[in-house]
Structure 1
């Protein structure tokens, strides 16, 4: 059986050191490509490019993953920056929003992870909570800097996510922002115990479009990525 080709958006770092080299780099935590491979797909990294190239890129893919990373620039959803909102990644914002729009137009299966879920919501006209209350952090949305924590996520019955993960599951997480107003057509398909939206999706009639707020690439549960790979294989 042919493995579907899954593109994954990457970070763009202006200065990375490895060995004797200190150069700009397009990079991605290995958990992303390993998760795609373990779930049965072929992984391809998609560094930031001219947004006009997004449609030509997506048409060559069987599925798309928009990865985690920096906070989305608030102007993208009509807001002023919160004091706790981090510096924007302008090239990533432009490129990944173009990828999402191209995937939605082409019907290419799409999975947003953390920042990717937030960008999916913004692409469809939704807004973000720029900083969850500090008390929420103690409930497990963000641990110490650079350390994933975990908390339970409860699926909404009847959703695509619930079809993949029907039980309450403990997930690896690291985020301080979240979905506020849902974008056009989106529905929440999982929540944390404090009510934070943890997964979003379009109706199944719109094809495979899902976002999760946590980081499945940092855990051992393959089911979310397997659902994307299955959709990409059958598309």
Structure 2
């Protein structure tokens, strides 16, 4: 097979930004909220890496696509199929034989297979991760082992929600071998199925120590690669993820150049330059989606980037706050409808979302938005970068334990505590609570919850809303038993020195006063968290 060399850090001009269709099912049926949270976290990691490599991301939810499969790749330069739940064995001509299968959605299977088939027909580079790799194999006539069995190097739990690390061996001369420079890889996996019969026209390009197929690639010139592991796991080396995404983007860029007609060259460059930068929503939400704004229209005045439009920067996905995984899919949610309220009261007809990676959002480097709302805690350090409104939601710290654990504010100091690195809870635990044992730091919410479930810590402390969302997916195995009030909260951001800052602050105050925000909390947050955050007992600070 052709040996293609890719660089880890390309420096493309703006006119070579590539448009990547990313498809995944982040809400498969009959799976825990915890596993859904893992899928959201992994997808966010993959999308962030694509953006770092100058990819313009267009996300489609496979279970509820907003476009037909036969036109979804129009204008796209590449296709990424994310990991997720199991594919229906009917796709590869078998009955369901394993009782461990989960999250099957035939509609999502058909949609993603149709996209992969169209990518092959159009010579559009395609990358599949975990489930995505298995679908590539199915597309080529291959099938799967429906259950590889417990106790393997490939999974830590029956639902694959806990990742494990293991080595893989790459096939010399393969695309993956070229991307990773011929070195050995240690990868993160969480799968209970695997490729059995390899599809026609595919080559196996990586295997685990037990012989399980870990990667496949299309033979010939078409760039189609599937990896069984999860390079987008936040606990995997980010450099390895970026190398893979860079190779993928580079293939898309080469294909784009090869297919660009000379007489359209300059026009295409101009169009790509216009599209470079943060991704705005694919369209305006008519009448603010499902939100029903109240208050007097036009009662406040805002100066906006675009006429008659409020552009809101945020970070997706963020369920409950924004219900939808992409700007075009979001139609309601606490923060989305709060933004709709502000737009309505300012007499603005249109609402747009600008979706950013968290680091881009919180750094203050993004431009072209009017306000920013993404569950952002107000801190003194952040006030140096942004203007904040008064708090619209209390950002307290919740304490979660395994069900049946006896723990109180008085005994908390003597317990083993887990915290999220970079979260305000970690600073509070170290500097205010001052536990007897150094707290354990975790890189992600799922890792922290997993440690609590495994008994590695006695309690976890993070934003009350975060620990509530984690417990809602554990079927009562974890409970939030208390919270500490802090002099913090979530605030609406306006650019530093904006003429809108005072007006937005007053609008937030009015929504608190007239009960609008309390109604939004009851409507969108209580169902998401399984409880009203305000119902959690408040503990006295030590």
Establish whether TM, by shorter chain, passes 0.5.
yes
Q: Which residue of 1 aligns with 2:69?
A: 54
Give the C-alpha shift of residue 37 in structure 1. Answer: 1.4
- Alignment size in residue pairs: 223
Q: What is the DSSP-based 3-state SS (H/G/I as helix, E as strand, rest coil) of the residue aligned with 1:232?
A: helix
Tell me if structure 1 keeps the 8 A contact 2:89–2:95. yes
**RMSD, aligned α-carbons:** 2.4
For 1:180 and 1:123, locate their aligned partners in 2 and report how far apart those are by CA, in whole Å. 14
Which one of the candidate residues 126, 134, 142 is aligned to 2:150?
134
Q: Which residue of 2 aligns with 1:44?
A: 58
For 1:87 and 1:53, locate their aligned partners in 2 and report how far apart those are by CA, in whole Å. 22
Which one of the candidate residues 4, 17, 27 is aligned to 1:13?
27
1:79 aligns with 2:94: yes
- Judging changes above 3 Å, is the alpha-carbon distance between structure 1 residues 37 and 147 closer, same or farther for their aligned structure 2 residues? same
Tell me if structure 1 keeps the 8 A contact 2:28–2:104. no
- Judging changes above 3 Å, is the alpha-carbon distance between structure 1 residues 199 and 14 closer, same or farther for their aligned structure 2 residues? closer
Greater RCO structure (CA 8 Å; 6+ sep): 1
Tell me if structure 1 keeps the 8 A contact 2:26–2:84. no
Q: Which residue of 2 aligns with 1:209?
A: 224
Which one of the candidate residues 44, 49, 55 is aligned to 1:30?
44
Structure 1: 5+ residue stretches without partners: 16-26
1:223 aligns with 2:243: yes
Give me the TM-score of the superposition, normalised by structure 1.
0.87
- Comparing 84-93 with 71-80, greater Cα deviation is found at 84-93
Q: Which residue of 2 aligns with 1:159?
A: 174
- Judging changes above 3 Å, is the alpha-carbon distance between structure 1 residues 193 and 51 closer, same or farther for their aligned structure 2 residues? farther
Once the two structures are superposed, residues 119-159 of structure 1 have per-residue CA deviations (whole angstroms, 9 ceiling, x without a partner) of 01001110001111324x2xx21113522211111101111
Q: What is the DSSP-based 3-state SS (H/G/I as helix, E as strand, rest coil) of the residue aligned with 2:27?
A: strand
1:234 aligns with 2:254: yes
Give me the TM-score of the superposition, normalised by structure 2.
0.39
Write 1 or 2 for the structure with the bigger share of strand.
Answer: 1
Give the C-alpha shift of residue 53 in structure 1. Answer: 2.1
Structure 2: 5+ residue stretches without partners: 1-12, 30-39, 256-542
- Judging changes above 3 Å, is the alpha-carbon distance between structure 1 residues 34 and 50 closer, same or farther for their aligned structure 2 residues? closer
- Judging changes above 3 Å, is the alpha-carbon distance between structure 1 residues 153 and 39 closer, same or farther for their aligned structure 2 residues? farther
Q: Which runs of 4+ in 1 moved over 4 A?
A: 49-52
Q: Whose radius of gyration is greater, 1 or 2?
A: 2
Q: Which residue of 1 aligns with 2:274?
A: none
For 2:197 and 2:124, locate their aligned partners in 1 and report how far apart those are by CA, in whole Å. 24
Which one of the candidate residues 87, 106, 112 is aligned to 2:122?
106
Q: What is the DSSP-based 3-state SS (H/G/I as helix, E as strand, rest coil) of the residue aligned with 1:85?
A: coil
Once the two structures are superposed, residues 54-106 of structure 1 have per-residue CA deviations (whole angstroms, 9 ceiling, x without a partner) of 23111321110001001000011011112222241122101101100110100
Q: Which residue of 1 aligns with 2:462?
A: none
